[in-house]
């Protein structure tokens, strides 16, 4: 099987894979008595959603239309997530539920891909226990999907490709975006950090940044196509540029994006505190396009736990970053990820996390119970605290955050926010719903023509889940 070629702009989607798309389309038009439909579902993070848009791009190019319903589909792909056990359980449950469909319609193609499939014990389980799954491919084989699909359709046997390939980011895959207002834009792939709890470096491979000119070209194109919000994606966007020729940094990339004409705003995730610089914070502070929003996952407030997690920063360095960011960026929205119950964490150490979130006062918090992942270092650490105890801590954390978040929306009343309207609101006909730069849901009365546009909205009233206002 041929690998991607290098034509001077990095690895590119191989020409023969375009040809396989054409072959699949021809085959389907000869074989099927109706236009073929695909159902593609991506679990997990935005990186995976962005991969899902490439999968749909390839399928569209190969002649498929799309359906939200599995029972109407001729092809079902689940693009899976391995980051926690409950994400994996959900996938196994949903795949199990497809058995009946396959029995009724033996021509149905069922495929599994994404991070779970890159783990050997999972692909083996699929091979042995889910014989009705036709195609399994890992994160390293996305650019070979047309050929793999062609083989499934012609060879009458199951196809597995979970080989590891240490490749650059492959440019030029077709993309079918889920919307026309907001776009995901991966600027790098993989991760080199090996936080001890995390499976991502094992399933997504080493970190590779896309070349600056390729990212800028995509931003320009998206702006020209009328996208109003672009989210730059990477596991650690702050180390963008490592390995590229020239002195390319994430802050430098942001400054180049700032120069691109057009009315659009930019977000990014995720920002690892160990590589978050004052230069980056200054760049956000001085920008008109970047949202004043920082997702800066702290994971824990205890220095001992942070070291055991291999995070490469301590509580004080983190708090210093937060103080600097709050001082430089007026109206900054701050969010974080927290893991509760890391192996060996004591209640006292958990209380240091509680005191940290009370000190920082995050606008949003994404909280997770520690989940052991096969092959990671933490999975072999002593983990004496019982699950019920960890759940109690978890509930304590949620209660603390609820208290912190309670006044947040109310404090917005009287302020004017620049809102990107994304669709109809829940408040009934005539209302639109959109997001503020801080990603808070805003509902306001406006005609549907304003969907996909920015509006200045004066906030008049607040609830827990949203604020309400009037067009200025």
Task: By CB under 6 A, name the binding residues for ligand SF4.
Answer: 191, 193-195, 198, 200-201, 235-236, 272
343 phi/psi in degrees, rounded to 5: -50, 125
Give Cβ neighbours of residue 188 (< 8 Å, ≥ 6 apart): 169, 207, 208, 209, 210, 234, 235, 237, 239, 240
Q: What, of ligand SF4, ligand SAH, none, does residue 266 touch, CB below 5 to 8 Å by kind?
A: none
DSSP 194-212: --TT--HHHHH-S-EEPPH
Give Cβ neighbours of residue 332 (< 8 Å, ≥ 6 apart): 292, 293, 294, 325, 326
Q: Which among 53-61, 192-200, 386-394, 409-417 is the span making contact with ligand SAH, rule CB under 6 A?
A: 192-200
- Binding flag, residue 84, ligand SAH (CB under 6 A): yes
Our CB check for ligand SAH shows the closer of 364 and 368 to be: 368
The least distance separating ligand SAH from the CB of residue 339, rounded to whole angstroms, comes to: 5
Nearest to 230 by CA among 260, 268, 256, 259: 268
The least distance separating ligand SF4 from the CB of residue 5, rounded to whole angstroms, comes to: 29
- Binding flag, residue 313, ligand SAH (CB under 6 A): no
Our CB check for ligand SF4 shows the closer of 144 and 306 to be: 306
Our CB check for ligand SAH shows the closer of 137 and 197 to be: 197
Q: What, of ligand SAH, ligand SF4, none, does residue 440 touch, CB below 5 to 8 Å by kind?
A: none
58, 75, 76, 83: which one binds ligand SAH (CB under 6 A): 83
d(CA 427, CA 174): 37
Q: What, of ligand SF4, ligand SAH, none, does residue 201 touch, CB below 5 to 8 Å by kind?
A: ligand SF4
Our CB check for ligand SF4 shows the closer of 95 and 198 to be: 198
Q: What, of ligand SAH, ligand SF4, none, does residue 287 touch, CB below 5 to 8 Å by kind?
A: none
The least distance separating ligand SAH from the CB of residue 419, rounded to whole angstroms, comes to: 27
Site for ligand SAH in 264-293 (CB under 6 A): 270, 272
DSSP 419-444: EEEEEE-SS-TTEEEEE-TT--EEEE
Our CB check for ligand SAH shows the closer of 83 and 212 to be: 83
d(CA 329, CA 127): 52
DSSP 229-287: EEEEE-TTGGGTTTTSSSS--HHHHHHHHHTS-SS-EEEEE---GGG--HHHHHHHHT-
The least distance separating ligand SF4 from the CB of residue 362, rounded to whole angstroms, comes to: 18
Structure tokens at 2: 């041929």
Q: What, of ligand SF4, ligand SAH, none, does residue 315 touch, CB below 5 to 8 Å by kind?
A: none
67, 371, 427, 453: which one binds ligand SAH (CB under 6 A): 371
Q: Spell out the SS3 assignment of 323-344.
A: HHHHHHCCCCEEEEEEEECCCC
Other beta carbons less than 10 A from residue 23's beta carbon: 16
d(CA 180, CA 53): 13
373, 390, 408, 435: which one binds ligand SAH (CB under 6 A): 373
DSSP 279-319: HHHHHHHT-SSB-SEEE---B-S-HHHHHHTT-S--HHHHH
- Binding flag, residue 198, ligand SAH (CB under 6 A): yes
Q: What, of ligand SAH, ligand SF4, none, does residue 368 touch, CB below 5 to 8 Å by kind?
A: ligand SAH
Our CB check for ligand SAH shows the closer of 200 and 280 to be: 200
Contacting residues toward ligand SAH, per CB under 6 A: 83-84, 197-198, 200, 235-236, 270, 272, 297, 299, 337, 339, 368, 370-371, 373
């Amino acid at each position: 099987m041929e690998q991607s070629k290098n034509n001077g702009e990095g690895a590119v989607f191989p020409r023969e894979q375009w040809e396989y798309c054409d072959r699949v389309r021809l085959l389907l038009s000869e074989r099927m008595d109706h236009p073929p439909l695909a159902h593609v579902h991506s679990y997990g993070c935005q990186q995976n959603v962005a991969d899902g848009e490439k999968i749909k791009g390839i399928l569209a190019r190969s002649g498929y239309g799309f359906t939200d319903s599995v029972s109407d589909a001729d092809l079902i792909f689940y693009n899976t997530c391995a980051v926690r056990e409950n994400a994996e359980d959900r996938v196994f449950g949903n795949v199990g539920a497809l058995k009946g469909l396959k029995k009724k319609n033996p021509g149905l193609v069922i495929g599994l891909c994404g991070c779970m499939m890159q783990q050997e014990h999972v692909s083996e389980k699929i091979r042995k226990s889910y014989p009705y799954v036709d195609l399994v491919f890992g994160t390293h084989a996305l650019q070979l999907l047309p050929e793999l699909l062609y083989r499934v359709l012609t060879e009458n046997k199951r196809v597995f490709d979970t080989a590891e390939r240490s490749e650059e980011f492959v440019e030029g895959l077709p993309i079918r975006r889920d919307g026309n207002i907001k776009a995901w834009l991966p600027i790098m792939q993989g991760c080199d950090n090996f936080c001890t709890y995390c499976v991502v470096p094992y399933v997504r491979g080493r970190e590779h940044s896309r070349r600056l000119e390729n990212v800028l070209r995509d931003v320009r194109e998206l702006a020209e196509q009328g996208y109003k919000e672009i989210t730059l994606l990477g596991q650690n966007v702050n180390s963008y540029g490592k390995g590229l020729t020239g002195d390319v940094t994430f802050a430098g990339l942001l400054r180049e994006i700032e120069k691109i004409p057009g009315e659009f705003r930019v977000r990014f995730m995720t920002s690892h505190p160990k590589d978050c610089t004052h230069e980056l914070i200054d760049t956000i502070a001085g920008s008109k396009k970047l949202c004043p929003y920082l997702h800066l996952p702290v994971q824990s407030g205890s220095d001992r736990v942070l070291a055991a997690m291999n995070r490469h920063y301590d509580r004080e360095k983190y708090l210093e970053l937060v103080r600097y960011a709050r001082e430089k960026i007026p109206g900054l929205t701050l969010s974080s990820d927290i893991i509760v119950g890391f192996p060996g964490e004591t209640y006292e150490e958990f209380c240091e996390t509680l005191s940290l979130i009370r000190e920082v006062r995050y606008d949003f918090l994404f909280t997770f119970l520690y989940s052991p992942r096969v092959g990671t270092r933490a999975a072999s650490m002593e983990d004496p605290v019982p699950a019920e105890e960890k759940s109690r801590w978890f509930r304590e954390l949620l209660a603390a955050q609820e208290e912190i978040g309670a006044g947040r929306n109310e404090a917005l009343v009287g302020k004017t926010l620049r809102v990107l309207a994304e669709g109809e609101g829940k408040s009934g006909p005539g209302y639109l719903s959109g997001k503020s730069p801080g990603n808070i849901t805003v509902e306001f009365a406006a005609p549907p023509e304003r969907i996909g546009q920015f509006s200045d909205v004066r906030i008049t009233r607040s609830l827990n889940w949203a604020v309400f206002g009037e067009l200025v």
